[in-house]
Structure 1
Amino acid sequence: MNTTKDIIVLTGAGQLGMAIVRRMAYGNKIFVADWKFENAQTISKTLVEAGFDAVPFKTDISSRTSVLELIEAAQKEGEISMFINAAGLSPSQSTKEHILAVDLYGTAVLLEEFGKVIKQGGTAVTISSQSGHRMAALTAEEDRLLATTPTDELLQLEILKSENIKDTLHAYQMAKRCNVKRVMAEAVKWGEKGARINSISPGIIITPLALDEINGPRGDFYKNMFAKCPAGRPGMADEVANVAELLLSDRGAFITGADFLIDGGATASYFYGTLQPTNNLTK
C-alpha cells in the first residue's frame, strides 16, 4: 500500500472540478469520481496526460453506500487530505426529486462522510450556486433545519416535500441554500481536527452543464443575466479555481464555514440593478 502521497478526492468529473484539481493536486494521487464512469475516465485521462496521478471511480453521491465505497478505495492509497465536490444536476437536467436527491441529500452525505475521514489539517470545497442567493430568505428555523437535520432525515423536512417544491429551479435553489448551511454546520465539526471546509457559489461559468442551461428552456434568462451583470460576461472555470486555490491552501487558513459568491455581480444586479424581477420580464 502506497501511503507516501496524500489523496485528493474530486466528485463531479467536469471542467470546474478539473480546473480546481489542476491547481492543487500535483505530487498527490487524485480519485476522480462521477456517476458517469466515462466522465471520470475522460477527466482522469486529461490529468494523466498532463502528468498527474489520477484514477477514475464510479460514484453515485445520492447513495451513501456508493460514497463509502469511494472513501474506502481512496483510503487504501493513503490519507485523504483534500476533498473537492463539484457534482450536481442543473434545473434543466432532471426532475425536482432527483435534483434534491443529488444536489441536496448527496452533498450532505459527502460533507458528513468526508468530515469523518479528512486528514488532520485537511481542506475541502463544495460547489454551490448563485441560485441559492437569489431565492427569498428562509426563516431562521428553516435555515437551522437545513443546516443541522440528520442527513438521512433531510428529505423528510416539510419545506423539502415534493408538494412544497414548485419546480426544478426551486428544487435547485433549495439544494444550494442547503449546501451553504450544511457547510457552516460541518465546519464546526471539521474544526475539531483542524480541518476546513468552505463553499463556492458560482454564477454562469462556461462548462458543459452551463451550456445545457444556456441552450435549455431558460436559456434567454441566463443570456440576459450575464449580459446585464456588472461584469457583462459569463465566467470561466479557472476564475473559480482562483478562489478555490486560496480556500484550499494555507493562505486560506483563517477561512472556514464560509461561502464565496463568484457571479460577476449578477446577484447584486438581481437585487439592486437591471436584473431585478420587476425590470426583467424573463424569469
Structure 2
Amino acid sequence: MNDFLDKTFYSTYKTKKMKNNKDIIVLTGAGQLGLAIARRLGYGNKIFVADWKLENAESISKILTEAGFDAVPFKVDISSRASVLALIAAAQKEGEISMFINAAGVSPSQASIEQILSVDLYGTSLLLEEFGKVIKPGGTGVVISSQSGYRMPALSAEQDRLLAMTPVEELLQLEMLQPANIKDTLHAYQMAKRANGKRVMAEAVKWGERGARVNSISPGIIITPLALDEINGPRGDFYKNMFAKSPAGRPGIADEVANVAELLLSKSGAFITGADFLIDGGATASYFYGPLQPEKN
C-alpha cells in the first residue's frame, strides 16, 4: 500500500512539475492571424498574448482559454525596448521561450508615417533582436510581414544591407527613412516590410548560433479586421481590384497563413531559416507580369 501511495505521489508530483515547466510561446499582435497560428501550435504550451491594447490581448486570450489552451494577456509596446524586455521577463518566469510569433503592426490607412516606421520597422527589428537573445535552443520564430515589401522598386545592395545590419537604435536615422525621402504612408509601409525581410535574414544568422530558426511570411489580402479597414478605407478600390485580378481571384483567410506558419515553426521546417514566404494568391505575380501591371491599369 505504501509503495502504491509513493508511486501515486510521485506521479502527481511529476504531473504538476511538468505543468509548471511548459515551454512558452510569445505572440505579439492580438489579431486573427496570430490567433490562427497560436491555435495551430499552442496546445501543451503556455501562450503569452501581447498587444498594445490590453483589451485585444484579453479578448484573444479568452478565446484561447475557452478552447482549452493556457493563455495569458499582456500589454506591450513593441516600439519600446523597456516594454519588450518586461514582456520577456514575465514570460521567462513561467519557462523557456521556445516560440515567438510577431503579428503586430499598423497599416497605411490607420497610422502616420512616423508610427509605421516606429512600430512596423523599428519595433519588429527590436523584437527580433531581443527574442533572438533568449529563444530556447531549437526554438523558432516567425514574423508576419506583407506583400507590400515586394511592390516597391528594388533598393541598392547597400540600402538592403543597411536595412538588414544597421543597429536597431540607429535604424530610424538612416537617410532613406527620413521624412523627406518617404512619400506617404504606403511608401513608409513598403519600406518597413522590405526591412522586415532583410532583418529576418540577418537575425537568422544570430539565431542560428543558439540553434534556433526564424523566418517571415508576407501575406497579401487576408480577411481580418485590419484588412477590412483597408478594404473599406480610402484605398479600398485598389485592394478589391488587386484580389479580383490575381490568379487566385480572391483574398485569403488567416488559416491559410497558419498553414505556412505551422511548417516554419515546426520540425517539418527544420532546414528553413532566414527566408520569407509570399502568400498572396499570386497578386504580386500579376502586379509584375499580369493584369495588375501599373502601366495596364
Normalising by the residue count of structure 1, what TM-score does the alignment of the two structures yield? 0.98
Matching residue of 1:124: 141
Shift of 1:163: 1.1
Query: Structure 1 runs of 4+ off > 3 angstroms?
Result: none
Secondary structure of 2:296's partner?
Answer: coil
Q: What pairs up with 1:19-58 in 2 under 5 angstroms?
A: 19-58=36-75
Question: Which residue, out of 1, 22, 40, partners 1:5?
Answer: 22
Report if the CA contact (8 A) 1:6-1:28 is conserved: yes
Q: What pairs up with 1:169-188 in 2 under 5 angstroms?
A: 169-188=186-205
Report if the CA contact (8 A) 1:3-1:79 is conserved: no
Q: What pairs up with 1:70-81 in 2 under 5 angstroms?
A: 70-81=87-98
Shift of 1:214: 0.2
**Could you report, residue by residue, the CA deviation over 1:235-273 in whole angstroms, capped at 9, with x for unpaired residues?**
000000000000000000000000000000000000000
Matching residue of 1:155: 172
Report if the CA contact (8 A) 1:35-1:58 is conserved: yes
Shift of 1:3: 4.7
Read off the aligned partner of 2:131 and give its amino acid letter: F
Question: Which residue, out of 61, 72, 80, partners 1:63?
Answer: 80
Secondary structure of 2:209's partner?
Answer: helix
**Could you report, residue by residue, the CA deviation over 1:50-75 in whole angstroms, capped at 9, with x for unpaired residues?**
00000000001011110000000000
Secondary structure of 2:218's partner?
Answer: strand
Secondary structure of 2:214's partner?
Answer: strand
Secondary structure of 1:193's partner?
Answer: coil
Matching residue of 2:106: 89
**Could you report, residue by residue, the CA deviation over 1:162-212 in whole angstroms, capped at 9, with x for unpaired residues?**
111000000000000000000000000000011000000000000000001
Shift of 1:133: 0.5
Shift of 1:279: 1.1
Shift of 1:47: 0.3
d(CA) in 2 for partners of 1:38, 1:279: 44
d(CA) in 1 for partners of 2:207, 2:231: 37
d(CA) in 2 for partners of 1:117, 1:246: 22
Structure (1 or 2) with the larger CA radius of gyration:
2
d(CA) in 2 for partners of 1:71, 1:130: 29
Read off the aligned partner of 2:267 and give its amino acid letter: D
Read off the aligned partner of 2:229 and give its amino acid letter: D
Question: Which residue, out of 246, 259, 276, partners 1:259?
Answer: 276
d(CA) in 2 for partners of 1:30, 1:7: 6
Secondary structure of 1:16's partner?
Answer: helix
Read off the aligned partner of 1:207 and give its amino acid letter: T
d(CA) in 2 for partners of 1:199, 1:233: 22
Question: Which residue, out of 211, 229, 236, partners 1:219?
Answer: 236
Matching residue of 2:251: 234
**Could you report, residue by residue, the CA deviation over 1:49-102 in whole angstroms, capped at 9, with x for unpaired residues?**
000000000001011110000000000000000000000001001100110000
d(CA) in 2 for partners of 1:65, 1:279: 48
d(CA) in 1 for partners of 2:97, 2:237: 42
Report if the CA contact (8 A) 1:128-1:201 is conserved: yes
Give the aligned length: 280
Question: Which residue, out of 260, 270, 283, partners 2:287?
Answer: 270
d(CA) in 1 for partners of 2:179, 2:63: 39
Give the percent of matched residue pairs that are identical in Structure 1 and Structure 2.
Answer: 82
